[in-house]
A and B are shown apart, each in its own frame.
Chain A
Amino acid sequence: MTVKDPTQPVPGTYLFDGKMAKKGYGLNKMCFSFNEQAARDEFNQDPDAYCAKFGLTDRQINAIHERDIIGLLQEGGSIYYVAKFAGLLKLNMQDIGAIQTGMTVDEFKAMLVRRGSGEE
């Protein structure tokens, strides 16, 4: 596991606390809006214009473009709202697990099976 943020108390984990909630407010607000189909359509038509509406920072916009889930977390994204962005991209939890851990989806699923069965 490669850990990109040494300031977090649990390796590989971005605790969503007050600091993150403040940093990620606009990003999370945008992703919260994806509960509505109309918002998802509007984003898909012009992602940059939609990001601008919520005042996303350049780093956040870049992470949205790159589908960089870790980047979104580092920029204050809460996984509950980032999951709605992933849903908009038709990615499920194994897909974004694979993206975050640098595995293929099959490798990530196999890891879950090993851990679930207590092998690991």
Chain B
Amino acid sequence: MATIIGAVTTSHIPAIANAMANKLEETPYWKPFFDGYPPVRKWLNEKKPDVIVLFYNDHGLEFFIDKKPTFAIGVADEYHNSDEGWGIATIPPVTGESELSWHIANSLVEDGFDMTICQEMKVDHGLTVPLSLMWPGNDYGHVKVIPVCINCEQHPMPQPKRCYALGQAIGKAIESFDSDMTVAIFGTGGLSHQLDGEAAGTLNRKFDLECMDKLVACPEELTQYSNLDLVKIGGAQTVELNMWIAMRGVLRGKVTELHCNYHAPISNTGAGLLLLEHEMPE
């Protein structure tokens, strides 16, 4: 059976891609952010997961509001990035894992998660920035990626408890896949931020740090929040925490934090980084 070896959470904002393109990693503004990453890169290079299941939200590249899936999963052999309108550089194609993707899709629908299943799917910065961060120079072609996209744009959007349950169902699906593959889970986006309205610039460091602690030790507490709670506490786009919560749903048993970094602000956001392993019960 396929094995889930651990998980990573990271910010995915476009400004990170611009900072890497302009080689700003060592500047005072960016250094505290980028300095968090080497231990996670080392873990990935040592553990060499075959597959990454990556939770992200599309920001208007693949999905428009003509048809907006609540949950979508990619089942392709390859995914492409494309111009998002603000001149961040596009990155090379991302390798997919069609067979496991279909297995997860089948299992999810069987379990009551009626996914939108995508054979073609342009992937935006929500997915590409984490890959560029983990494999500098965009050296990620060897890793197979399964995109799982959660609506974080248009209300109604799935609530934290539903995203956690989605993660649990994905964990069950992966563990029932007849293969010796190893799988790591990425939860991307967040944490507190607000881009729009007179309340633009909302940030909540205390809440972000609490979330990171709870995500490791007592994730069920985070599922008690509603999306409206998250908007009020951390700003309108804090709902991206749902991708982290979905990631955490995949992990089972005792969860250990191997690495943690938090820095705020980068652009308008609080940026959290976690590296987690779990010890699955027999």
Chain A interface residues toward B at CB < 8 A: 1-4, 9-18, 21, 25, 28-29, 31-32, 34-37, 40, 69-70, 73, 78-84, 86-88, 92-94, 96-97, 100-101, 108, 111-113, 115-118
Q: Is the CB of A82 within 8 A of B200?
A: no
Per-residue A-contact encoding for B59-74, CB less than 8 Å = 1, 0 else: 1110011100000000
A80-B201 contact given A35-B85, A97-B268, CB 8 Å threshold: no
What is the CB-to-nearest-CB distance from B94 to chain A, in angstroms, rounded to a whole number? 18
Contacts of A16 on B, CB cut-off 8 Å? 153-155
Contacts of B200 in A (CB 8 A): 12, 96-97, 100-101, 108
Q: Is there contact, CB below 8 Å, between A4 and B268?
A: no
Query: Which residues of chain A are within 8 angstroms of B236 by Cβ–Cβ distance?
Result: 10, 13, 15, 79
Also in contact, A12 and B198, with CB within 8 A (given A35-B85, A87-B86, A116-B265): yes
State whether B198 touches A101 (Cβ < 8 A): yes
Task: Evaluate contact between B59 and A115: CB separation under 8 angstroms.
Answer: no
Q: B199 near A11 (CB under 8 angstroms)?
A: yes
Give the one of A12, A108, A111, A113 with max B CB within 10 A. Answer: A12
Main SS of chain B's interface residues? loop
Please, how many residues of chain B have a CB less than 8 angstroms from a CB on the other chain? 42
Complex CA gap A103/B199 in Å reads 12
For B203, list chain A residues within 8 Å (CB): 112, 115-116
Would you give the shortest CB distance from B33 to chain A, in whole angstroms?
Answer: 11
Asked whether, in the complex, the Cβ of B155 is within 8 Å of the Cβ of A84, the reply is no
Cβ 8 A contact of A100, one of B82, B155, B198:
B198
Residues of B within 8 Å of A36, CB to CB, are 83
Interface contact A82-B268, CB-CB below 8 Å: no
Once the chains are docked, how many angstroms separate the CA of A113 from the CA of B83?
30
User: B23 interface residue, CB < 8 Å from A?
Assistant: no
Tell me the chain B residues, 210-252 only, with Cβ under 8 Å from chain A: 228, 231-232, 235-237
Min CB distance, B120 to chain A, in Å? 16
Known contacts A13-B236, A116-B264; is-contact A93 B15 (Cβ 8 Å): yes
**A93-B267, A100-B197 given as contacts; is B65 within 8 A of A87 (CB)?**
no
Check B6 for interface membership: any CB of A closer than 8 A.
no
* B253 touches A (CB below 8 Å): no
Find chain A residues with CB under 8 A from B66 CB: 29
